[in-house]
Structure 1
Amino acid sequence: MKLVRYRFKHPYAQSRMGIVQGDHVLDISGLQHELIERGTLDAATYLIPSDPQAFYQQAQFHIEQTEQLLPHMKDTDSLHMHKREDVVLEAPVPNPSKIICTGINYANHVKEMGSDIPKYPVLFSKFNNALIGPEDDIHNPQTTNKLDYEVELAVVIGKRASYVKKEDALTYVAGYTIANDISARDLQKRTPQWLQGKSLDHTTPIGPWLVTRSELADPSNLAITSYVNQEVRQSSNTKHLIFDIEYLISFISSLMTLEPGDIIFTGTPDGVGLAMNPSRFLQAGDTVKLEIEKVGTLTNRVIDK
């Protein structure tokens, strides 16, 4: 199942939860209420919220409820099915309480950055001000001359996780999406801490949707690619992660409690602009396309800001 956060193209439209069906988006709340009115569902047991913030507060529970609606989708009233061109897709997860990122987590990227293989995951954070959706433009701010792309598989947490065992880790996953960990390399590298180059306003696209764990059970062998203006820049596979997703969830949850809707960026492979000779950074007018097997494609344009 591919979950989207979307809104209609009119002023004051509110974000809603939907399911991707080909070139359409099915409104979850609309389908739910239609089935309740028919008597197919019990109103007392179905409480899937249309508001994305409320949906992700109990992500795993609401995803399981939504999956039970799937057999009824073909019979839904067309009023609840919207053409993709009539809606705007937003970042699939609204206002996560934590965005935990993993640095240098592919061996070839470690090599190209002149680093050593880490003994522990290299963690840093982003904030919500950086997040944008799949139809938004990446801002290239005046504060940097070295804006760089990084394709990453992102993991969204489905239920509260604390001291999780590695063998149980994937049961805490709501699903997966694509992230572009845009980095201002000049700001990132001017101090030992990376934060100032990693969380600039309106610079980090995620999306286009959340592929639920029931659809993508094994994230350990997925092709991962980035393109700038149709030129391949990065091409690898998640099997090359130094610290795999199960380990990351276990490790991070031993440091802090992960809440539903929290996002973990798992790291980027080699091929970043900084490591090219000469370095090649993003410019206004560039188009960055990211692809992850079984997840989808995320495409954004760069504009000066």
Structure 2
Amino acid sequence: MGREEISHEYQDIRAAAACGEQLPSIEVTGQVMARVKGLERVPNRSTVRVANKTAATLSMLILLLLIAVTAYAASEYIQIRNKAGVVKVQHFAPDLKPKGVAAYYKYEWKLMDFAKPGEQIAYYFRGEPIPEGGSLLQFAYKEQRITDYSAFLEQMKRKNSPVVLPGTAGEYAFKYGTMYPGYPTKAEQESSPFYRQTLNELVDEAKQDKARNLFMKVVPWTETESVKAVYTKQGAFIDLSASLLHGGEVQVYQEPENKPEKLRVEGRDIVYNHVDRPDIKPGFSYHYLNWYNEAHDAYYTLTTYGDRILTKEQLLKLAGELIKGGL
């Protein structure tokens, strides 16, 4: 089964450019359109949407990453393979991008008002069309930013993350970290007494209350779908994130603004992307790196922004240090 998703929340890049600010936290997982195949998942976090095969919105899960990259001839699309030769990262032309990703923007704010940071919400929306293969029970997550590294480290362990992001990135100190849950597949929901009971409770509530259409409940989560950390040094920032593939693959839909380049750093294939966006603002551009870690089965993104943006060489050097450190 495949699934399509949008990953990581992005701050408004257009607004930042219009205000003359440095590019905000570009977790390229919000700018890129990627597709992760291999699992059925439901919406993941609030600001990151993933439309899985059920067409729900995964507010970050693995990932319809909005990553972009220049179109290549079919035989020249960038690939990253694991040791067995299986393709784990595949770039495609934008005209092959899946259509019809569902969104729940019209009531997302209600979900976020209902939840506390770090909480996962199960919800049922009366009248919402259910995509093919979808489920009546949907999920959302309210981001929690943890500013103490020891607390973040404990959270990564408690939530069973195979990825442990470091306390520093080069000379950059930890600013905050956040994690996002993996949502149960439709099959998992149907086989779980807990999720069946949760859906029944919400449907029963809807039968009693005809004045509203959205019904919500906070539910626990233990499986991590992605983890990220932001690091800072005198007004400069590093954004490091990892999306867990759980046996799936990442499909990145290339866009004309991106100039991708496949490089080799510390024995690892890395894709360097430089993005020009004069449509947002004359001269506006940014760059980032992606790589795959087979031991973690994770897709990493490394970006730089703020007062002193790292050069390509500095960004690659930092990636090499992180890879040697186990990422």
TM over 0.5: no
TM-score in terms of structure 1 length:
0.27
TM-score in terms of structure 2 length:
0.26
Which structure features the higher share of helix residues?
1
